[in-house]
Amino acid sequence: MAAEAQTLSHETVHPLQAGDPDVWQIISAEQQRQEHTLELIASENHTSPAVMEAVGSCLTNKYAEGYPGARYYGGCQYHDQVENLARNRAKQLFGCEYVNVQPHSGAQANAAVFFALMQPGDTFASLVLSDGGHLSHGMKINFSGKYFKPVHYPLNYDLESDGYEQIDYDAMRKVCLEAQPKMILCGYSAYPRIIDFKKFREVADECGALLMADIAHIAGLVAGGAHPSPFPHAHVVTTTTHKTLRGPRGGMIMTNDEEIAKKIDRSVFPGMQGGPLMHVIAGKAVCYGEALKDDFKQYAKQVVANAQTLAKTLIESGYRLTSGGTDNHLMLVDLSAKDADLTGADAEQWLEAAGIVTNKNGIPNDPRPPKITSGLRLGAAALTTRGFKETEMVQVGEFIDRVLSSKGDAETAKRVRSDVVDLCKEFPLPH
């Protein structure tokens, strides 16, 4: 009896470890990896324990197809409550009238908007992927490029211009007036500058298009007041709920137009998805609640300050940043300015050996293919969550340069790895 009680107690405290030690071991190893490495991937962050608790809750057990008050299953009263709570918090956070929190991801949110507001074959305008756009903004093998017709507006490639490698709003206007798109997209995955939503709306109105803003990367900065809001300019706004917003992995769609909202709701369900992930929606509600607190504004401000400090440190070390710097959480590093032979693939591998996690990324007009690249994309959101400030970001920039300047030297990586672990211990993950 005593042994049975001990076993039951053990299973209660560590059900995963007792029930599936293989999975538990993998997750434990990943936890250690995150604890002892510097996360610089611009699309990643560290959620709070409260968000993770909600996502791991009993809400995962329930089907709740439909929307609050109009479900296709019984037993959804608490799921209605948590979805309404998430929607209401998101409305307050972003200052909009209608919200759909059911998209499973940002790409599915984008797909829902496309099929809600356009017909297959319709034309839309966006920034090409190689210039910092997203695969769901018109990549040929993605739904957006298969079922719709993308036309692309360019960055500014005038070396004499102050806006070099930034969005060329005059060229964007010209492209849109010529193509007469049904929809114009703005918001990007590797663009380090402020987006002028007002200018985009002016062009959209001029050519009779709808304006869609995909703020997946900058949503937390918008929520925290560190980047201008797409409202009231955009007709519809999509986002992920992770990245700078620091919530669970998922998507969301927002609008101030009631008719657009109705079309989007039908497009999400039953158009694109079946049952919503209610445990993730609960995590979204927690994340929005956290972002409504005053300290999140300071967080968003610090993210930008940290990114700019890291950018300055790298520039002073001889690296070139596309567009010359950053206004938000990310930067795109042109490695060729430091070393013509250095590739993004090599840099990513060498840095990870030193405990610095990044991702290779193409730069505008990159001569190398996407799996090799000439650039690195770096972001400051996750390190800011750990509590890093400007002093630590200078250290991070110096770590990066030590590793890359060594050309992958194993001993250098080992020494930097030790320094990284020491720094991580000073700034533990949220617990």
Q: Give me the catalytic one of 35, 44, 62, 63.
A: 63
313 is catalytic: no
**Position 321 pLDDT exceeds 70:** yes
Contact 423, 380 (CB under 8 A): no
Residue 2 pLDDT > 60: no
* Burial grade of 19 (CB within 10 A; 0-12, 13-18, 19 or more): exposed
Buried b (16+ CB within 10 A) or exposed e, 281-291: bbbbbbbbbbb
CB atoms closer than 10 angstroms to residue 16: 14
Alpha-helix residue ranges (DSSP H) falling in 38-168: 49-55, 77-94, 106-117, 143-146
- 346: number of Cβ within 10 Å: 18
Nearest in space to 364 (alpha carbons), one of 221, 145, 172, 159: 159
To the nearest whole number, what is the mean pLDDT of the chain?
A: 94
| DSSP letter (8 states) at residue 60 | G
Using 50, 70 and 90 to split pLDDT, how confident is the model at 160? confident
CA distance 296 to 291: 5
Contact between 329 and 244 under an 8 Å Cβ cutoff? The reply is: yes
pLDDT of the residue at 138: 72
Q: At what angle do helices 410-426 and 344-353 cross, to 10 degrees?
A: 60
Q: What's the pLDDT at 10?
A: 43
Instruction: Assess whether 33 carries a catalytic annotation.
Output: no
Which of the following is catalytic: 71, 201, 246, 249?
249
Long-range contact list for 253-258, CB < 8 A, 24+ apart?
253/99, 253/100, 253/103, 253/109, 253/112, 253/113, 254/90, 254/91, 254/94, 254/96, 254/98, 254/99, 254/100, 255/96, 255/97, 255/98, 256/96, 256/97, 256/98, 256/231, 256/232, 257/98, 258/97, 258/98
What tokens appear for 42 in the block?
């611009």
What φ, ψ does residue 228 adopt, rounded to 5°?
A: -55, 150
Residue of 89, 243, 263, 386 with catalytic role = 243
Q: Is the pLDDT of residue 243 over 70?
A: yes
65 is catalytic: yes
How sure is the predictor about 9, in pLDDT bands with cuts at 50, 70 and 90?
Answer: very low
CATH 3.90.1150.10 domain extents, the chain: 302-426
| Active-site position among 240, 244, 309, 326 | 240
Active site residue 265: no
Question: CATH 3.40.640.10: which residues of the chain?
Answer: 55-291
The pLDDT score that the predictor gives to residue 134 is 81
User: Over pLDDT 70: what percentage of the chain?
Assistant: 97
Rounded CA separation 294/289 (Å):
11
pLDDT band at residue 6 using 50, 70 and 90 as cut-offs: very low
Helices assigned H by DSSP within 294-409: 294-316, 344-353, 381-386, 390-405
- Going by pLDDT thresholds of 50, 70 and 90, the confidence category of residue 94 is very high
- The correct answer on CATH 3.40.50.150 for the domain covering 302-426 is no
> Of these residues, 39, 214, 290, 392, which one is catalytic?
214
Residue 214 annotated among the catalytic residues of the structure: yes
Query: Would you say the C-alpha torsion 134, 364, 162, 203 has a positive or negative sign?
Result: negative
Tell me if 86 sits within 8 A of 324, measured CB to CB. no
65 pLDDT above the threshold of 80: yes
Residue 136's pLDDT band, with cuts at 50, 70 and 90, is confident
Residue 14's CB: how many other CB atoms inside 10 A? 12
Q: Which of 35, 44, 65, 352 is catalytic?
A: 65
> For residue 359, what are the β-bridge partners?
377
pLDDT at 7 over 60: no
Angle, vertex CA 319, rays to CA 318 and CA 324, nearest 5: 115
Instruction: Say yes or no to pLDDT of 313 above 90.
Output: yes
Q: How would residue 12 be classed by pLDDT, with cut points 50, 70 and 90?
A: low
CB 330 within 8 A of CB 375: no
- Give the span between the Cα atoms of 214 and 200, in whole angstroms: 13
Torsion of CA 394, 47, 136, 328, to 10 degrees: -30
Give the pLDDT score at 137: 81
**Is the pTM for the entire model greater than 0.75?**
yes
The yes-or-no answer on residue 63 being catalytic is: yes
CATH topology of domain 55-291: Aspartate Aminotransferase; domain 2 (3.40.640)
